Amino acid sequence: MNNCSDDGNDHVNIPFVSIYSFITVVGLILNLIALVVFRNNGKSRSHTVTYMTNLACADLLLILTLPMRIYYHLGFSGLPQKMCNMLGLVLKANMYSSIFLLTSICSDRCLAITYPMSARVQGIRKKARWICLGIWLLTFGASVPIYFLKKEEEIQTNCFDSQPLIAIQPFVVFPTLFVGFGIPLVIMLICSWCLVRAVQRSTVAQTDLVDSSKISKMIAASLFIFLISFLPYHAALLVLSLNRHHITCSMTVAYRYSLLVACFNTVLDPVAYYFTTDTFRRKMDMGACWKLLPLNSHSSDLNRRMRAQEDS
């Protein structure tokens, strides 16, 4: 396999250092602000807020693995490979936690808007905490065995430039692509389609009582963030798997950059909170980041159905 020695750790890798540093600083600040807003929210037991709180935690855990990547790409060698592997495991586990939590948020919004009066649906939505717990158990439970599957002869010495030897094996990569990306993508597409139909068919949506364009923007933003963040990584993983016996340097470099793009999701998620969540935006506007105090707000009857995923 080509190790791309010209892209090794003997010199400063400026693109990786710059982007990882940006993600670390900006992502850390935005996600901490998000957690404070959710914590100070008088309706913090909202189902959607439960998912968003867990998503912010997953993003923060991922961000905490990035300083060592910055250190490595600054040209410092000698990092223990086991530590590199462990940090890689934590990063991947939290990346898939983010994928499943984003899918859960989209599904919760869809159920709240499409079936606002269904007792059975409301019962399902009330299980948000248990769903989040299941997501954490699934992502870490599926990632840990991959870490221990690595044989000693497969452990490389180039830390974060190591190729994902186990992850690109057919018995790992295809379940990962199907369960970790394919199913969530299909669910998000179906939920987005249902949301659009629900808005179009609603008699309220034909009046000025509901901002239909806002719902469209919310759907578009969710799908855009999901695809731009995770499609390149899984496409690169598939290419590496299909060519695992003849991996070129360009394939390896593409994989590393796709992982970098996936990490950028930790910055995009808080931005999505602001533009698609009324509660978050109201508190950010009034709190001005450093004065994040609860705001006694009144819910609008006109947009209640569109906010059901936040205020129920």
Query: Is residue 31 a contact partner of residue 289, using CB atoms and an 8 Å limit?
Result: no
Task: Note the pLDDT of residue 292.
Answer: 41
Task: Note the pLDDT of residue 123.
Answer: 86
Q: Give the separation between CA 312 and CA 308, rounded to whole angstroms.
A: 5
Cβ neighbors of 199 (< 8 A, separation 6 or more) are 113, 205, 210, 212, 215, 216
Query: Is residue 27 a contact partner of residue 91, using CB atoms and an 8 Å limit?
Result: no
Backbone angles phi, psi at 179, to 5 degrees: -80, -40
Task: Note the pLDDT of residue 61.
Answer: 94
DSSP-derived 3-state class of residue 193: helix
Cβ neighbors of 129 (< 8 A, separation 6 or more) are 50
Task: Note the pLDDT of residue 198.
Answer: 78
Q: Give the separation between CA 291 and CA 283, rounded to whole angstroms.
A: 9
Q: Give the separation between CA 105 and CA 49, rounded to whole angstroms.
A: 9
Domains (range + CATH), the chain: 9-311 (1.20.1070.10)
pTM here is: 0.81
Task: Note the pLDDT of residue 291.
Answer: 45
Q: What is the pLDDT along the chain (312 residues), one digit of tens a residue?
A: 445 654 445 578 899 999 999 999 999 999 998 888 888 765 545 788 888 899 999 999 999 999 999 998 898 877 787 888 888 889 999 999 999 999 998 888 888 878 877 788 888 888 989 999 999 999 998 888 776 666 544 445 577 777 777 778 888 888 889 999 999 999 999 988 888 887 777 655 554 445 556 666 777 778 888 999 999 999 999 999 888 888 888 888 999 999 999 999 999 988 777 666 665 555 555 444 444 444 443 334 434 454 544 555
Q: 182 vs 25, 92, 170, 186, CA distance in Å?
A: 31, 16, 16, 6
Backbone angles phi, psi at 213, to 5 degrees: -65, -30
Take residue 100 and report the two structure tokens written for it.
């499943």
Cα dihedral 70, 75, 79, 85 sign: positive
Task: Note the pLDDT of residue 298.
Answer: 39
Q: 13 vs 70, 76, 248, 300, CA distance in Å?
A: 9, 11, 20, 51
